[in-house]
Structure 1
Amino acid sequence: MPFPQDRWAGLTPSPATDVPLSPLTFLRRAARVWPGQVAVIDGDRRFTWADYAERCRRLAGALAALSVEPGDVVAVLAPNVPLILEAHFGVPLAGAVLNPLNTRLDGAGLAFILAHSEAKVLLVDASLAALAAEALAGLDHPPAVLVAGEGPLPAGLSGAADYEAALAAAVPAPWRLPQSEWDPIAVNYTSGTTGNPKGVVLHHRGAHLAALANMAVLGLRSDSRYLWTLPAFHCNGWSGIWAAAAAGTTQVCLPRVDPVAILNRIDEAAITHLCAAPVVLTMILNVRDGVPERGPGSRPVIIGTGGAAPTSAVLAAAAARGFDVIHMYGMTESYGPTTVCAPQAAWADLAPAELAAVRARQGVPLVAVEDVTVLDPEGRPVPADGRTLGEIAFRGNTVMLGYLKNPAATAETLAGGWLRTGDLGVLHPDGYLEVKDRAKDIIISGGENISSLEVEEVLSRHTAVLEAAVVAEPHPFWGESPAAFVTLRADGPVPSAADLVAWVRDHLAHFKAPRRVVFRELPKTATGKIQKAALREEARRIAAAPSST
């Protein structure tokens, strides 16, 4: 029945209650609550929350001096240094839209993004000046450039202004909120593995809520210390820059990912939290030389990880070194983490194998996410039986507005009121989501579906295996069969391909075992994801070779 409006007549939102949600409020509050507390550590440099807020306001003022207006795009090309942390607040304080650039792209890839987003200003860290010059050389209308840090600049950046000088000369911008909480705050470009990248447009409302959700799920507080191992350009660092301001958490910069540096920084800076892609987590867990000893009794560190589910072997290795791994799942179009494998008290009674199985699930929605489900081809939720496969879908305030200048892709991805992820999964009776595969990665052998992730999980449990990826290769009789690409540990035994096939057969139905095992380093995207498309192509070439069996 309709809501009884007459009983509540006159009670409508007013300026006292209707305030746009924006992460900008977090920085203002942090500067008020913890003005003298260290907000950012970058080597020998320290910025308090008052310093950090002042620098962000001055950046907004410097952008205004460059004629940046509301709705303009400001790009930033920087590793995990103060520049990118400041840009996440300074750019939206100017009313502009932040475009964090992937530092692992080449000049042509960056040029495409700068042109497509129509960036008006480019903020560059001096360590990436040559890459920036390469990108700008491919543009007919290059943006104005501010360079932070010291070092010689290439000829292509001869006209660039100095970032610190611009901040010193700027009038600090006043605190401001967007006119609407649905105004864009960032445009983040996907990795573009199947064509040109798409610009994912995020809004202030979603950024505010995603930051609070991630603050809650990681347990960030004002006495926490967060190490920037996750690229801050990737999904806005999973909204981590905004979340740190909400919690008053000290952020420790790390310009380059190196497992020895990470473990030493954890010890030296009393790190309590970090986030990392699975590949980085594997690196951390497999280094022993030149790092402090860690064991189950060490000061605990919470590690948020996303992407592929951490295998049982990874979870066991992490626990043995005092790391508490929180497994999350999401995508750029949903501000990064969207679900979490929330632990249940009843899991304490499970056998190790059962515990590993439930901990590898992608879990339940974060607190700010309205719903997560699995849809059949007609767009209906599948039964929560742990078996019926469908496409994983999200709904809620932490879903993108759409793709920049791409209405067709927007309509397809947001069809039926859901964000379609392209991932295949199941819902278990307890409501926990489990990803089975990307739709394009499922292997159909003799009419039977084989999850590449399931086979990879079993392979990773072999003591000699560091990483594994499984893809479909053509088969003359079955249509497709699994092919495994495996990286072995440097210091372990060397199994044969037959040994690994037998290992899988001991743990799974025989038809799921790979018919081919290739030993090699695994190719990865700029964000650390395994390039399965490249491996599928390699598997096709191998299968087509005359000597292939």
Structure 2
Amino acid sequence: MTGNATKPVQRLEQVANHFNASPSTSSRKPVHAHRFRPAIPKGLPVNYTPLNPVSFLLKAASIRPRHPAIVYGEKAWSFESWAERVAKLAYAFKARGLEEGDRVVVLAPNVPFMSDALQALPAAKLVMVTVNTRLNPSEVAYILEDSGAKFVLVDYSLAHLLPKDLKAQVVICQDSYDASDPYEQFLEEGAAYDRKLGGKEWAGLEVVKDEEALFAISYTSGTTSKPKGVMTTFRGTYLAGIANAVEARLTDSSRFLWTLPMFHCVGWCFPFACTMAMCTQFCLRTTTLNYDDIWTLLQSGVTHYNAAPTVQIALVSHEKAQPLPHDVRTIIAGAAPTAKLIEQLEKLNIAVVHVYGLTETEGPSTRTYYVEKSSPTYYRDMARQGFSFLTADDIRVVRLTPEGSSPPLDPETGDLQEVSPNGEEVGEIVFRGNILMQGYWRKEEATREAFAGGWFHTGDLAVRYPDGTGVLTLLLPLLAHLVISGGENISSLAVENELAAHDDVHECAVVARPHEKWGERPHAFVVLKPGSKWHGKHAEFETELKTFGRKKLSAFAVPEWIEVVAPEELPKTSTGKIQKVALRERVRKLSQ
């Protein structure tokens, strides 16, 4: 079976009447609220209900039952019908003997059953483990073993990644959503289980009593060691969902397109931001993004999407790229965008929300706020980072910890020392607060190290800039990606930002390359724009770009080497982030 084929234009036309309807006209048929009211644990104070992100879906199903919640090619589910399916899936897990706290692995692209699982697992008080679809079998096997997963929901195209001797129960979704699909049959197991209980539906699903209970385990990329499982809670996910809805300006008329993988930090908690806003989500099956489809959907009415800079670069360079007839808002994360990229997006009527976060902070947790459009440095300032999200504590940049020692503390307060807000002193970004992880799954020592001094140490570097009321934050690469040349610290991000302003540069990445005299010098990998006059004239373009760079960069920051490469030669993660570790290894070998 080949799965569901998407037809975005036709589907958008078919649901247009739902988009134009007000919440009142789309919900004329009465729905009994108790249908979507889960059981409350006994013994809770009357003025306290544990925060639970599943409550967003249930409220949407009560208030906007007929409004489209999930759209996927020729198929669509209203909030009411989706909530019914989620309840069936929660009961199906119970029918298979799973108990509170058991871990369930979900391995899938951005398809509807992935959306179902993200709601049903916490509804059944199970712990979700969403797995990167681009891992190899040995990496998937490690996560299955480390998490102790008892059950796996997997898309038919990814079943080959599972170990042959897997002991966990497995249900494969054929992505057809008809009666013959094993996934649909699994849902019917849940419906039958509920009927045996008397047909309670949501009333038979008790919410968690402790909002600090384990919600999900999200594994980091593991580029330098084995992946670590980041533990997040019901409370943190609830608050992250609210923050994302507010910061992205999602409303009940929004149409959110899934370009970001849902497996990544539980979709940056946007599955719950969307249900909190009661808006429509559009699923795209493809694991390799089809930019024709994305532009068709954008031109047809999609209002929001999330993507890393590499995806955004491909979008603005696409042949269909033209100013959109309606406002679109995009969340950029995964790496810092250049000022030029932000300018290109905004010229297409795509407003940019530039955010920063990690798996450990449940995805985005800071953003750039209120930069004056009239400012001559508007795009440069938009490419910087600023302040923490609504539900997050203030971000801090503290003095670097000497290797092998404890963090330097302020002698008067005993707290970590802040860097000087002069735009020059480099420090480490640290976090604390509501949307921070509990710790690393079964890695107590790694957790203690990460929380040294009472703050979470990201390993990411930044400088602080004064702005009259506080600071703006300019993100720099990881310490390992800082270029240290002759005692000068060079931000590869700053160099990339300037080189990307050249009209013929499509994409670039800068890393440190060993140098006999200076220790390190910048090495730039550059992808030329399609149709550039410099194709086939790479040596001449190297001279051209160096001359261009000298106009804005210090002499020591101009790349010593500029290498023109094909787009596929820039190694990237599954979320589109350039893998600079791989590029550093490549240039290290060149210097041997």
From 247, 250, 253, give the equivalent of 1:217. Answer: 247
Secondary structure of 1:536's partner?
A: helix
What are the equivalent positions in structure 2 for 1:127-526 lying under 5 Å apart? Answer: 127-131=157-161, 135-137=162-164, 139=165, 141-149=166-174, 162-170=182-190, 171=194, 172=201, 174-256=204-286, 257-268=289-300, 270-288=301-319, 291=320, 294-295=322-323, 298-344=325-371, 347-351=372-376, 354-377=377-400, 378=408, 379-430=416-467, 431-494=471-534, 496-520=541-565, 521-526=569-574
Task: Give me the TM-score of the superposition, normalised by structure 2.
Answer: 0.84
Q: Distance in 2 between the 1:114 and 1:456 partners?
A: 38
- CA deviation after TM superposition for structure 1 residue 161, in Å: 8.9
- CA deviation after TM superposition for structure 1 residue 437, in Å: 2.1
Q: Distance in 2 between the 1:366 and 1:118 partners?
A: 33
- CA deviation after TM superposition for structure 1 residue 371, in Å: 1.7
Q: Which amino acid aligns with 1:260?
A: D
Is this contact kept in 1: 2:52–2:235, CA < 8 A? yes
Q: Which amino acid aligns with 1:217?
A: E
- CA deviation after TM superposition for structure 1 residue 493, in Å: 2.4
- CA deviation after TM superposition for structure 1 residue 427, in Å: 1.8
Q: Extract unaligned runs of 5+ from structure 1.
A: 1-12, 152-159, 545-549
Answering whether residue 60 of structure 2 is matched by residue 30 of structure 1, we say: yes
Secondary structure of 1:308's partner?
A: coil
Q: Distance in 1 between the 2:205 and 2:90 partners?
A: 10
Is this contact kept in 2: 1:145–1:161, CA < 8 A? no
Q: Which amino acid aligns with 1:81?
A: V
Answer with 231-240 or 515-524: which moved more.
515-524
Q: Distance in 1 between the 2:280 and 2:373 partners?
A: 33
Q: Deviations over 1:82-110 (max 9, x none)?
A: 11111111011111100111011111111
Q: Distance in 1 between the 2:181 and 2:98 partners?
A: 15
Is this contact kept in 2: 1:24–1:177, CA < 8 A? no
Q: Deviations over 1:162-218 (max 9, x none)?
A: 211111231245343212111111100111111211111110010000000000001
Is this contact kept in 2: 1:146–1:161, CA < 8 A? no
Q: Distance in 2 between the 1:85 and 1:539 partners?
A: 41
Q: Distance in 2 between the 1:418 and 1:143 partners?
A: 37
Q: Distance in 1 between the 2:281 and 2:426 partners?
A: 40
Is this contact kept in 2: 1:303–1:326, CA < 8 A? yes
Q: Distance in 2 between the 1:425 and 1:251 partners?
A: 34
Q: Deviations over 1:405-428 (max 9, x none)?
A: 111111111111211111110122
Secondary structure of 1:507's partner?
A: coil
Q: Extract unaligned runs of 5+ from structure 2.
A: 1-42, 195-200, 401-407, 409-415, 535-539
Is this contact kept in 2: 1:38–1:46, CA < 8 A? yes
Q: Distance in 2 between the 1:349 and 1:302 partners?
A: 20
Match of 1:532 in 2: 580
After the TM superposition, list the runs of 4 or more consecutive aligned residues in structure 1 that deviate by more than 3 angstroms.
none
Secondary structure of 1:99's partner?
A: strand
Is this contact kept in 1: 2:342–2:383, CA < 8 A? no
From 120, 126, 132, give the equivalent of 2:150. Answer: 120
Secondary structure of 1:282's partner?
A: helix
Identity, % of aligned positions: 38
Is this contact kept in 2: 1:70–1:95, CA < 8 A? yes
Is this contact kept in 2: 1:373–1:427, CA < 8 A? no
- CA deviation after TM superposition for structure 1 residue 496, in Å: 1.9
Q: Distance in 1 between the 2:233 and 2:360 partners?
A: 11
Q: Distance in 1 between the 2:206 and 2:132 partners?
A: 28
Q: Deviations over 1:34-60 (max 9, x none)?
A: 111110001111101011111111111
Q: Distance in 2 between the 1:27 and 1:454 partners?
A: 42
